Chain A
Amino acid sequence: MSRKLPKKDVVIVGLGWTGSIMANELTDEGLDVIAIERGPWRDTPTEFPPNYAQDELRYRIRHELFLRPEQTTFTFRNKMDQTALPIRDWGSFMPPNGVGGGGVHWNAETFRFLPSDFVLKTHLTERYGASFLPQDMTIQDWGVTYDDLEQHYDAFEYLTGTCGTAGNLSGQIQEGGNPFEGPRSRPYPNPPQKQPFSHTLFAKAARDLGYKPFPQPSGNMSQAYTNPLGLHLGPCTYCGFCEWFGCGNYSKSSPQTTILPFLIRKSNFSLRDNSEVIRIDLDRSGKHATGVTFVDTGGVEWEQPADLVILSAYAIFNVHLLLHSKIGSPYDPAANTGVVGRNFTHQTISSVNGFFDNKKFNFNPFISSGSIGMCIDEFNGDNFDHGPHGFVGGGYMGQVQTNGRPIQSTLVPPGTPKWGAAWKSAVRDNYLSTVKPGTGVHGSFYSYRDVYLDLDPTYKDRFGRPLVRLTIDFHDNELKQNVFLTDKFAEIIRAMGAHTVDKQYRKGPYDSTDYQTTHLNGGAIMGTDPSTSAINRYLQSWDVPNLFVMGASAFPQNPGYNPTGTVAALAYWSAAAIRKQYLKNPAPLIHA
């Protein structure tokens, strides 16, 4: 039997980026807001201070900041005719846990999507014809446009002090920026980060090949910055312990550095940590949320009643909660009915490593940051003619090497033994003169009928509830896209002066043990049609109007960029609709 807590106006499930943004917006509206976070409170001087944060074994190899699979995990299979088995230890993605969520240990790569990404189905059909698209590809238009979101991208970039060079200012293409980006209303709030040696070398090689390289938009500060809430960030010191790690000196944008100190002082905001929401509670009609039920670490169940529920638990956990709360009809891939779990996507990542003459090149790879890098966008989205190539989609590519942490940076040329004296001397000879971009090719992953989420029939979590089951594999479209992109990337690496170029294509089957970013998307997608989307264009649930679902679970397919900028822009967009329309008249904002 749950213990009932005093009612709040708003309950927010999960205090990561979107939870923090929504809490700040809705408290500004005068509402009484409580956030409930599954994981622990986290803050810079205590959880990731710069005297022990720089520990590769602890935070990268043993991934201490991340969710423990024991607390929640998923099962996985490639195809529908296989038996899914538990992901017992993380591999291809690593879910966050704790206050700040992924915002604590992300790279801080802060991209916008292309205008065409938001109307992908319409755009590709118009350009190439419907039969150009694979039959089982289920891409959709989003229901919002880039223009709808532009001011909200801007808001997030100024909140976080994004460092970059604008490529398109109100339609005018700018030198040094990304010429393919959608128009922005004003420049970035900060200049781009300084680029280390190998990154500038990549840019030069790319330029010589006729591309237009630009600095990766970075949420690691290029200089001290004060954001609109009055919070100060310090300059990034290129420590090379960025992604996977918390930032020790207030120079990476995160909820901790850009929102929480301001938010926590508001008398109408409070948060509960170490409290896991297990269900969104509904009234008897099933069409109205009455609040949430959560469990603390002592196993005690509590009920937090609220008038408005914001689900901001991270994409796949959002879907998990919707399924367990019986909100929305679960997706059935065979019948092609239902919405919760459909259009699940990840990312198509590959890279090319370059080995250079160590007498001529010293890259000091340890001097870096999480979103350093020089990139080109010529092969992203529909920025090039796909007609001759027989696939759709693409991605940015670049020398985006973020670190020289030794356990993971001891690359040796292909053919070198994996152990012994030859291995040892190869490591010694190559460490300082190797280019290891990491997510060098950051390709899109479009949606398919047989790539989806549902509940596993066998495996359970510690509450006895079925785990979410991932059915996911690469399709020919993405694999073809990746060969094309990787080959292009390799040309640039070679043009940098590498004597050996080692292409690492992304090959199928999708491997749950091989890390490929934690950009999991879809499963509760937004759209204009309730039969193929779980939420409307304002992220409001079609089924339960006082529930809004944030995060990348809204993406109908995944473009070739990092998701956070768009995740945040959608949150601001949704918050604006809640503040201006919903609160005045709590009801469905769209009548389908």
Chain B
Amino acid sequence: MKRRDFLAGTAILVLSTMNSRATVISGGLPWTPNAGSPPVPVRPGPWHYFTSDEGHAVEALADRIIPPDPQTPGGKDSGCAVFIDRQLAGPYGRSDGLYTRPPFMPGTKQQGAQSAKGPAASYRDALAALDKYCQSKHQGKRFPELSDQEKDDLLKGLEDEKVKLEGVDGKAFFAQVIKDVQQGFFADPLYGGNRDMVAWKMIGYPGARYNYLDWVDRHNERFPLPPVSIMGRTDWSPKT
């Protein structure tokens, strides 16, 4: 038979094994409609992972790591705690895809994290320890109920290792929270943080754009277009 050119979609044959995603591809580039894996935006609503107290504590942490100011909301109002909650409820929180086989042994700093605990479990344990610490040192108050100064002092203490949390590495925990809060602040709003792209507006980052060909040669000029998320911007809907 004369070998015909075939439209790509007809050229995929599937291996005849059960439970296998392996395919044999020949003849043309595969194509099926709506293929690929577009992101699923975070929807506002109740916490997916945090308890109510944990959520409040992380919101309070977020607001000290990124305090609100007249120009730009802080970590809480920009949704950083929502971001972390959804991340911990998902594959990141579970350490999906990481190598989690034993034995677990402590190593050097250069050998990286060797804990069996994933981020979700780490947060739970650390937030409990933080809660316990606050209540014992601040007459029963939880972290969100402390004054801003008290919060900052406590956090600086974690950084300097002058404040010790029971059973957890407080310094490592705070470093983790800083990282997660700041990532949530600057990530695409579809992940729950950076609400209304406030962080991107703050720094002048135009977002998920793809074509700057008309701007490469315009040196030292402010780029005028507003930021856009993967899920769009308000200008994608008519002004009412």
Contact = CB atoms under 8 A, between A and B. Distances in A.
Interface of A: 40-41, 43, 45-47, 49-52, 54-58, 61-62, 68-70, 73, 76-78, 82-83, 85-89, 91, 194, 196-197, 200, 235, 237-241, 248-249, 260-261, 264-265, 267, 269-275, 296-300, 361-364, 366-367, 404, 406-407, 410, 418-421, 423-425, 427-428, 431-432, 458-460, 509-513
B36 interface: yes
B21 A367 contact: no
Contact of A510 (B110, B187, B215): B110
A52 B204 contact: no
Contact of B112 (A83, A361, A512): A512
Given A55-B39, A73-B99, A296-B17, A512 B188 contact: no
Interface string B77-121: 000000000000000100111111101010111111110000000
Contacts of A296: 15, 17, 20-22
Contact of B223 (A68, A248, A364, A458): A364
Contacts of A237: 210-213
A70 B98 contact: yes
Nearest to A424: B66
Nearest to B12: A41
A16 B52 CA distance: 48
A57, A407, A410, A419: residue with the most chain B Cβ atoms closer than 10 Å = A419
Contacts of B202: 427-428
Interface in B175-232: 178, 182-183, 186-188, 191, 199-200, 202-206, 208-213, 215-217, 219-223, 230
Contacts of B216: 194, 196, 238, 367
Interface of B: 3, 5, 11, 15, 17-31, 35-39, 64-67, 69, 71-72, 92, 95-101, 103, 105, 107-114, 152, 155, 159, 178, 182-183, 186-188, 191, 199-200, 202-206, 208-213, 215-217, 219-223, 230
A88 B220 contact: no
B29 A264 contact: yes
A73 B95 CA distance: 15
B25 A273 contact: yes
A92 to B, nearest CB: 9
Given A88-B112, A237-B211, A269-B26, A406 B205 contact: yes
Contact of B35 (A46, A297, A367): A46
B22 A272 contact: yes
Contacts of B110: 76, 78, 509-513
Contact of B203 (A87, A418, A427): A427
Contact of B92 (A62, A86, A248, A423): A62
Which are the 10 A-B pairs with shortest beta-carbon distances? A298-B20, A270-B26, A68-B97, A197-B219, A431-B203, A406-B186, A296-B22, A46-B36, A298-B19, A57-B187
Nearest to B209: A239
Contacts of A86: 99, 101, 114
B114 A88 contact: yes
B230 A55 contact: yes
Contacts of A274: 20-23
A407 B69 contact: no
Given A62-B92, A83-B107, A404-B205, 20 more contacts: A47-B36, A70-B99, A77-B111, A78-B108, A86-B114, A238-B215, A248-B210, A249-B210, A265-B27, A272-B22, A273-B22, A296-B17, A362-B221, A367-B223, A407-B183, A410-B203, A420-B65, A423-B65, A432-B204, A512-B110
Contact of A70 (B26, B69, B97): B97
Contact of B111 (A85, A297, A361, A406): A85
B218 to A, nearest CB: 8
Contacts of B29: 43, 260-261, 264
23 contacts: A47-B37, A50-B210, A56-B188, A70-B99, A83-B105, A83-B107, A85-B105, A86-B101, A89-B112, A239-B212, A264-B11, A269-B26, A272-B25, A297-B19, A364-B223, A366-B209, A407-B186, A407-B187, A410-B203, A419-B155, A424-B66, A431-B203, A432-B204
Contacts of B5: 265
A43 B181 CA distance: 33
Contacts of B19: 297-299
A88 to B, nearest CB: 5
B25 A264 contact: yes
B215 A298 contact: no
Contacts of B64: 419-420
Given A51-B230, A52-B39, A69-B97, A298 B206 contact: no
Contact of B27 (A69, A264, A299): A264
Contacts of B37: 47
B212 A45 contact: no
B191 A272 contact: no
Contact of B210 (A54, A264, A406, A420): A54
A35 to B, nearest CB: 9
A46 B9 CA distance: 13
Contacts of B213: 235, 237-238
B212 A367 contact: yes
A89 B98 contact: yes
A78 to B, nearest CB: 6
A49 B213 CA distance: 18
B111 A512 contact: yes
B187 A197 contact: no
A87 B20 CA distance: 28
A267 B204 contact: no
A45, A235, A298: residue with the most chain B Cβ atoms closer than 10 Å = A298
Contacts of A62: 92
Given A68-B97, A274-B22, A298-B20, A361 B204 contact: no
A363 B231 CA distance: 26
A61 B87 CA distance: 12
B20, B155, B206, B222: residue with the most chain A Cβ atoms closer than 10 Å = B20
A295 to B, nearest CB: 9
A45 B103 CA distance: 42
A543 B216 CA distance: 53
Contacts of B26: 264, 267, 269-271
A85 B114 contact: yes
Nearest to B71: A428
Nearest to A430: B203
A82 B31 CA distance: 50
Contacts of B217: 194
Nearest to B64: A420
A423 B75 CA distance: 13
Contacts of B25: 41, 264, 270-273
A197 B220 contact: yes
Contacts of B101: 86, 459-460
A431 B200 CA distance: 10
Contact of B24 (A46, A91, A260, A271): A271
A270 to B, nearest CB: 4
Contacts of A68: 97-98
